Amino acid sequence: MYKLLNTATATTESFMVQNGKIYLVMTIVSIILIGLFIYVASVDKKLTQLEKK
C-alpha cells in the first residue's frame, strides 16, 4: 500500500513538473476558479434564503 502511494505521488510529481511546470499553473488557476465559484454560489444561496423571508 505504502509503495502504491509512493508511486502515485511520484507520478503526480513528475506530471506536475512537465513542460516547464505549466500543469502546476493550470492546477493553481483551477483551484482559484473553484474557490471563486464556491464563494459566489454561497452568496447566491444566502440571498435566496433572505428572499424567502
Interface positions with another protein (CB under 8 A) = 22-23, 25-26, 29-30, 33-34, 37, 40-41, 43-44, 47-48, 50-51
User: How far is it between the farthest Cα atoms of the chain?
Assistant: 55
Q: How far apart are CA 26 and CA 7, in angstroms?
A: 22
Q: How far apart are CA 35 and CA 25, in angstroms?
A: 15
The minimum distance between CB 8 and another protein, in angstroms, equals 20
Closer residue to another protein in complex, CB, 6/15: 15
Q: Cell 434564503 appears where?
A: 49
Closer residue to another protein in complex, CB, 17/26: 26
